[in-house]
Structure 1
Amino acid sequence: MAGRAYRLRGRMWIEGPDGTFLGYGRVVLLERIREHGSISAAARSMEMSYRHAWQLVDSMNRQSREAVVEKSAGGRGGGGAILTAAGERAVAAFWSAHGDFREFLARRNRQLDL
């Protein structure tokens, strides 16, 4: 089949002691928590259940040396969540590695000759 274009594709994630620590979706969740100030609002913005978002945040917090998200209890003013300094570093580290990974795939795709 002449003319067929092949390309390398891939996904990357950072593994922790309990499996996935950070991946594309988890980092987007962290960014949405930063943006909205709440796990539930972040989950809604991603069309994700609160329970699933909470499980992801809990997994990241348990695997990190320092919490990536700090939660405040609900009440009269409502609860909230913030991305910690460790969370900001984790997001930056992921996007830096992700950029390198994309560059690697692009470079190798230019060299691909099948």
Structure 2
Amino acid sequence: MASAPDEIPIRVHSRRGGNMIHPVSLESAPPAAAAAAAAAESPNAVTYREVKHFKKWVPWLIPLFVVANIIMFIITMYVNNCPKNSISCVAGFLGRLSFQPFKENPLLGPSSTA
């Protein structure tokens, strides 16, 4: 396969596992020093460049959901106010954030009456 002088095959390492060579035309010629060094090594030298298709991913969505759920649970327990709405509470030292007993609420969370 003969390629035009303005096309350079580039090897792309994809995360999908397929390695393919794609010809890419250059908009500007390489610097004279680099071209001379490449010509000195081999007359038919092929230059490969690293192509990065993927940006570094910062995982923020799942921790955001976890924090939002914890905040909503605390707000719900505060509004529930077990000592005011129930005769006995589990973990009474938590005050308004204490839980109803298992007989009233087997899921150990806020009451259904709040």
- TM-score (norm. length: structure 1): 0.22
- TM-score (norm. length: structure 2): 0.22
Over alpha carbons, which structure has the higher Rg? 2
